[in-house]
Amino acid sequence: MDRKQTVWKLRDAKRAHIRWVGHAHALIEGLPLEKNQVPVEATDCAFGNWYYAEGQSLSMLPSFKGIEAAHSDLHNIYMQIFKLLFVGQKKSLFGKLFGRSATVSDEHREKARALYKHLQRSSEHVIHGLESLEHELMAMKTDKVEELV
């Protein structure tokens, strides 16, 4: 794979990350989820699939390592939001997930919104790390990029 293909893959991973963060916001606002929007482990989302597999070819670059902690933190926060909104509610879990949840208290929704602000900060760290990674990749000599990928 060359520099151009690698940058496109990195950008695809970034877009997947941004979409996933949007799912967390939709969840808080009571919109129904699809199965692929439920919080998962950091290694199982589309971004994590790239980061822990194909993205590892970039692991020698300084920006790469800084992304992992923020990404993991983001997943932990999303799981806290999910539990706050859905664990212990009267409606069945699948009914709540894939249909509108009207039983979430205002207090829980406000707590979820506060957590979402933390999730956004973690997301900003991930995005900044990805942008730095792309800049590093673009600044490298072609033969060095080819050695990585």
Range of 73's domain? 3-148
Per-residue model confidence (pLDDT) at position 90: 54
Q: Are 74 and 122 in contact (CB under 8 A)?
A: yes
Per-residue model confidence (pLDDT) at position 104: 80
Nearest CA among 119, 138, 32 for reference residue 73: 119
Neighbour-count burial of 48, counting CB atoms closer than 10 A to its CB (0-12 exposed, 13-18 middle, 19+ buried): buried
Q: Are 117 and 77 in contact (CB under 8 A)?
A: no
Per-residue model confidence (pLDDT) at position 85: 86
Distance in angstroms (rounded) separating the CA atoms of residues 127 and 140? 20
Q: Could you tell me the mean pLDDT of each successive run of 10 residues in the chain, 149 residues long?
A: 88 92 88 75 89 93 93 93 77 50 78 96 96 93 82
Per-residue model confidence (pLDDT) at position 101: 46
* 3 state SS for 48-74: HHHHCCHHHHHCCCHHHHHHHHHHHHH
Per-residue model confidence (pLDDT) at position 50: 93
